[in-house]
Amino acid sequence: MTAAARRGTADAAARVRGLRKAFGAHLVLDDLDLDVACGERLAILGASGCGKSTLLRCIAGLERPDAGTIVTSGEIGVVFQEPRLFPWLDVACNVGFGARDAHERARVADVLGLVGLANAAKRLPKELSGGMAQRAALARALVRDPSLLLLDEPFAALDALRRIELRTAVREILEFTRASAILVTHDVEDALALADRVIVLAGSPAEIAFTGAVGADATRAAILAALGVVEREGHARRSAS
């Protein structure tokens, strides 16, 4: 099967079939299938290097699969671990940088309000806190009104308080926009707070070792167990098995 990525499915935000991706001799993903329903919020967890971000980048079109098909519906927005703002542009210009037409440029003020940065439009990135900078990156992804939002460890660089604040903001934004979302994270609390469903990738090449709906199959204990972590007396540790 040849590698392909295209748009045009009405019943799924993303559909992955037979995905294969290698970096040199290292096979990261092989024959992986995944469906994300329209409006669904999916969290992907797994150990470092298991292929979480590679999968997300393939869906975003930033990595070319070696084999398989990826079908997505509508516009895609991507938020990375680092804000990646242009230091010489103010917040409004950074957010509007990816706008393709007048309609999208006209959305800049609206999305800045949506992420709580309406009063920071003229600030330079150096004048922003880490949480504000990541909100600006989120606004930049939203300016194209994406139907699928891809988030690659978007809270990893933040302190605990800023992480909680931005996580709450992202949840409210997803509820307001009704966009589908795929979140890559190492943090079980992020997954439980934002996702409808959780999958855990494990092995080499990676396969889906666990999948479940949040609040039903995907509880904190079940996810930790799938990650090979056991909790004893309130402390989590990696299983020796």
Tell me the pLDDT tens digit for each residue of 156-200: 888 889 899 999 999 999 999 999 999 999 999 999 999 999 999
Give the pLDDT mean for 221-241: 70
Determine the pLDDT at residue 241: 41
Q: What is the pLDDT of residue 99?
A: 86
Say which range, 13-17, 54-58, 71-75, 226-230, has the weakest mean pLDDT: 226-230
In this prediction, residue 152 carries a pLDDT of 96
Confidence of residue 231 (pLDDT cuts 50, 70, 90): low
Spatial separation of the C-alpha atoms in residues 173 and 191, rounded to whole Å: 16
Sequence-separated contacts (24+) of 155-163 with Cβ below 8 Å: 155/185, 155/187, 155/190, 156/81, 156/185, 156/186, 157/81, 157/82, 157/130, 158/130, 158/131, 158/134, 159/130, 162/129, 162/130, 162/131, 163/190
Query: How confident is the prediction for the chain on average, in pLDDT?
Result: 90
Q: What is the pLDDT of residues 92-113, one digit of tens each?
A: 999 999 788 899 899 999 999 9
- Supply the pLDDT for residue 232: 60
Task: Taking residues 231-236, report their average pLDDT.
Answer: 57
Domains of the chain, CATH where assigned: 4-74+147-238 (3.40.50.300), 82-145 (no CATH)
Q: 229 - beta bridge partners?
A: 238
Side-chain half-sphere CA neighbours of 227 within 13 A? 24
Is the pLDDT reported for residue 51 higher than 70?
A: yes
The pLDDT value given to residue 24 = 92
> What pLDDT is recorded for position 168?
93
| Percent of the chain residues topping a pLDDT of 90 | 78
Given a contact cutoff of 8 angstroms between Cβ atoms, the answer to whether 157 and 82 are in contact is: yes
90 — pLDDT class (breaks 50, 70, 90):
very high
Quick one: pLDDT at residue 3? 46
Question: Which pLDDT score, from 0 to 100, does residue 229 have?
Answer: 81
pLDDT for 143 beyond 70: yes
Average pLDDT of 4-32? 84
pLDDT (tens digit per residue) in 62-80: 999 999 999 998 899 999 9
Which residue, chain included where needed, has tokens 């979140």? Answer: 183
CA nearest to 63, candidates 21, 10, 15: 21
